[in-house]
């Protein structure tokens, strides 16, 4: 039984894999100040709810928050009695990293790319909508070529309301139409449809530069905010909000087979 953990800047996602299927997946707020004891109690509580506390014997994680990497690893050791395997650019990912500085690439991006390659074996672009909006390119041969990083949707919304005195926070949801007839709908249009256009425009440019551009490209949407964008575009062919956890599971199976 495996516990997979993705430590992001805004959320920590976790999944309990029983060898056949995900029994439960969770999305928690990232709290940088929490101690190993506090996170350990959270892990124990979540697994106890699903009956998986005594069943978990292995843990794997990736992290873009270095200060929390050791915290979660210690929490796993002390409260789950298992060592947590950290995945990074040096791990056996099943892909080749073709960037200028592989060490500088976020582990979540690499795990997503590995998942896309192992699941589909096709040229692909992963659209990950979280704290940042990331589009990453993978070839049919399993080469991670790099990608694009833009401010995340929620970050843009917070900046808009925080820096403009007369604009308040609005719900992140699509308005009835693009043309906003009031300030709230106008802001929602700019955020939701603006990011739809951002993604469609970047996908078009990336597809033109993709080495496999003459083949159909699979576009996989993931991340905690992908559900806000995917319904409003036809460019995303597959949606899996938990792709990173699936990637961690596949990498673990690859490493331990």
Known catalytic residues?
A: 108
Token readout for 147 is 């990608």
Token readout for 119 is 């699941």
Would you say the C-alpha torsion 56, 62, 68, 73 has a positive or negative sign? positive
Question: What does the buried/exposed string (b/e) look like for 128-160 if buried means 16 or more CB atoms within 10 Å of the residue's CB?
Answer: bbbbbbbbbbbbbebbbbbbbebebbbbbbeeb
* H-helix or E-strand spanning residue 203: helix 194-209
Token readout for 11 is 């959320």
Indicate the SS3 state at residue 59.
Answer: strand
């Amino acid at each position: 039984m495996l516990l997979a953990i993705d430590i992001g800047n805004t959320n920590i996602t976790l999944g309990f894999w029983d060898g056949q299927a995900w029994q439960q997946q969770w999305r928690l707020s990232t709290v940088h100040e929490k101690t190993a004891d506090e996170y350990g109690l959270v892990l124990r509580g979540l697994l106890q709810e699903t009956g998986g506390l005594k069943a978990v014997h292995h843990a794997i994680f990736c992290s873009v928050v270095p200060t929390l990497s050791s915290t979660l690893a210690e929490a796993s050791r002390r409260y789950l009695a298992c060592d947590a395997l950290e995945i990074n650019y040096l791990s056996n990912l099943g892909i080749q990293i073709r960037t200028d500085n592989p060490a500088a690439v976020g582990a979540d991006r690499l795990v997503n790319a590995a998942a896309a390659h192992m699941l589909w074996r096709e040229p692909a672009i992963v659209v990950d909508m979280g704290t940042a909006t990331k589009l990453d390119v993978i070839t049919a041969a399993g080469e991670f070529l790099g990608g694009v990083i833009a401010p995340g949707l929620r970050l843009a919304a917070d900046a808009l309301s925080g820096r403009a005195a007369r604009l308040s926070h609005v719900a992140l949801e699509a308005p009835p139409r693009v043309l906003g007839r009031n300030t709230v709908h106008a802001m929602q249009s700019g955020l939701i449809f603006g990011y739809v256009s951002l993604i469609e425009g970047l996908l078009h440019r990336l597809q033109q530069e993709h080495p496999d551009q003459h083949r159909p490209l699979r576009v996989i949407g993931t991340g905690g905010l992908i559900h806000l964008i995917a319904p409003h575009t036809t460019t995303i062919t597959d949606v899996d909000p938990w792709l990173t956890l699936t990637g961690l599971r596949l990498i673990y199976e690859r490493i331990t087979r």
